[in-house]
Amino acid sequence: MKKNHDKKDCKCNHGISRRGFLTMIGSGAMAVAVSGKLSAGTTEYAEVINPEEMTKLTLLINGYRHRLLVEPRWSLLYVLRERLAMTGTKVGCERGECGACTVLIDNIPRYSCMTLAVEAEGSQIITLEGLMKEEELGPVQQAFLEKDAFQCGYCTPGQIMAVEGLLIANPNPSPEEIRRGVSGNLCRCGSYANIFKAAKYASELKRAKGGAE
């Protein structure tokens, strides 16, 4: 028995033929292509920032204001070490993996190698040097010393800053919270057991002095 309809023009349940559907898709693809070209054309005239052009910057670090000229591409790590001689912050992987360069920005641990200096303007920055009171170690520093929470010591500044940030947010963390708090900081020597002990002891020292500082 001969069928009374052509497969090429068969209609689906929504009343759109296959031929019509393909035509609609083709038109949509062309519209996307055209809009893409228009979009690309408009971005050709976007302002391009010269990465080597010096910019005035004011950074609040450890309670002191520092006014300096920087290139927009400079990381906070570079500015701290090479322009302000704050070498307590260490250079590690420089790609946000090891945590050796951790500082506090508005009391939150951040990788300074992954933070542009210009991004940190207007924020409160604390480095390892800012935890000390003249020659007196801060509670977290003292805890790392007493609990022998380091071997080579290269990752220690970043570990200390991570623990400092953790204790500001949570003055009495559980062991699991401590492990999570320092999970972004690598210790190639494997001193994690003592690092965890130091973090717990630091929380006790801080509470004995009246809470997180």
Could you write out the DSSP letters of every residue in the chain? Answer: ---SS-GGG-B-TTS-BHHHHHHHHHHHHHHHHHHHHHHHHHHTTS----TTS-EEEEEEETTEEEEEEE-TT-BHHHIIIIIT--TTSPP--SSSSS-TTEEEETTEEEEGGGSBGGGGTTSEEE-GGGG-BTTBPPHHHHHHHHTT--SS-SSHHHHHHHHHHHHHH-SS--HHHHHHHTTT---TT--HHHHHHHHHHHHHHHHHTTS--
pLDDT at residue number 38: 40
Range 42-71 average pLDDT = 82
pLDDT at residue number 20: 57
> Domain 132-213 belongs to what architecture?
Orthogonal Bundle (1.10)
The yes-or-no verdict on residue 5 having pLDDT over 80 is: no
The yes-or-no verdict on residue 9 having pLDDT over 50 is: no
Q: How many percent of the chain have pLDDT more than 70?
A: 75
pLDDT at residue number 73: 95
Per-residue model confidence as pLDDT tens digits over 76-98 = 999 999 999 999 999 999 999 99
All CATH 1.10.150.120 domain ranges of the chain, comma separated, are 132-213
Q: How confident is the model at residue 210 (pLDDT cuts 50, 70, 90)?
A: confident
Q: Which residue has the higher pLDDT, 115 or 16?
A: 115
Q: How many percent of the chain have pLDDT more than 90?
A: 72
